[in-house]
Amino acid sequence: MLLNVCLIFYSFSAFAAEQDAMEESAMLRIEEAKTNANISMELAIEKRKRAQALAQNADLATYKATMLIRIAEAALAAESVDNAAAYFLD
């Protein structure tokens, strides 16, 4: 009878220890998954920031190019007005 109680108690202890070990390993895997998720999120945030900065640079470049074209068009128009004026005044 005492032997049976001891065996049951031993089995229970082993079972509990195994459960603890499994729980510990599950916790570790959860922490690892969280860390990986955090790193992925941080990388994604950095990439989004970089993409936003590049998009802003592209917008700025487009704006500058538009302004240069307008200035060039205005200069050409002014030149042709000058030419026309020179033609008629000569």
Ligand X SMILES: *[C@@H]1O[C@H](CO)[C@@H](O)[C@H](O)[C@H]1NC(C)=O
Binding site for ligand X (CB under 6 A): 38, 41-42
The least distance separating ligand X from the CB of residue 56, rounded to whole angstroms, comes to 23
The least distance separating ligand X from the CB of residue 79, rounded to whole angstroms, comes to 57
38 vs 66 by CB, closer to ligand X: 38
18 vs 42 by CB, closer to ligand X: 42
Distance CA 90, CA 79 (A): 16
Helices (H), 1-90: 2-89
Distance CA 40, CA 48 (A): 12
